[in-house]
């Protein structure tokens, strides 16, 4: 009995050690935040750390890496977006990882959350999964080499009834 409990505990701890730092919900939440709020959200608990800032077309783009021994394993880019005529910004968040299992987990999370898969196709480099709901377009790329991938969360303009 003690042995099975110990094995279960080790398996649980082992999967947690190598778990990805963000979920599909985290990426969607970050897309709804200002740059400063997104930075604070991602750096709280010391999960990510700023790698560098860059200016692109009047936007301050921030690149963040996962903190830890494998700090190049996961990267998030915030600050990209399209300005609306009313002054609002539709934000885009990009997540990149060199661990294909992280991408497979995010695909499973998107399906579990009930996001509608609009497309499952491929190009010369990637398998492409396109998910959609009223608030986001989520495009997931999984390299054919099954080693790496990325996720792009594009915030949509929501026309609600007031």
User: What DSSP letter does each residue of 75-108 carry, written as one string?
Assistant: EEEEEEEEE-TTS-EEEEEEEEES-HHHHHHHHH
Mention every residue, 6+ apart, whose C-beta is less than 8 A from residue 21.
Answer: 47, 48, 66, 74
Task: Say what the pLDDT of residue 14 is.
Answer: 39
Task: Name the most confidently modeled range: 1-10, 81-90, 98-107.
Answer: 98-107
pLDDT digits (tens, 9 = 90+) for 66-80: 987 766 689 999 999
Percent of the chain topping pLDDT 90: 64
Check residue 159 and give its pLDDT: 55
- What are the sequence ranges of the domains in the chain? 21-155
Query: What are φ and ψ of residue 54, in 5° steps?
Result: -145, 150
> Given 3-state DSSP classes, what are the helix, strand and coil percentages for the chain, each rounded to the nearest 5?
30, 40, 30
Q: Tell me, rounded to whole angstroms, the distance of Cα 11 from its chain centroid.
A: 25
Collect all residues with Cβ–Cβ distance below 8 Å to 108 and sequence separation of at least 6.
none
> pLDDT-derived band of residue 147, with 50, 70 and 90 as boundaries?
confident
DSSP code for 157: P
């Amino acid at each position: 009995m003690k042995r099975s409990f110990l094995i279960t505990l080790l398996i649980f701890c082992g999967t947690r050690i190598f778990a990805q730092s963000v979920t599909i919900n985290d990426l969607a939440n970050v897309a709804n935040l200002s740059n400063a709020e997104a930075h604070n959200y991602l750096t709280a608990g010391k999960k990510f750390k700023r790698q560098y800032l860059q200016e692109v077309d009047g936007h301050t783009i921030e690149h963040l890496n996962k903190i830890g021994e494998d700090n190049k394993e996961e990267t998030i880019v915030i600050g990209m977006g399209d300005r609306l005529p009313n002054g609002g910004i539709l934000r885009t968040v990009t997540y990149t990882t060199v661990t294909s299992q992280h991408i497979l987990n995010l695909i499973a999370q998107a399906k579990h959350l009930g996001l509608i898969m609009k497309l499952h196709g491929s190009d010369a480099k990637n398998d492409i999964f396109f998910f959609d709901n009223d608030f986001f377009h989520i495009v997931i790329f999984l390299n054919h080499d099954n080693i790496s991938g990325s996720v792009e969360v594009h915030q949509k303009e929501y026309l609600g009834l007031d």
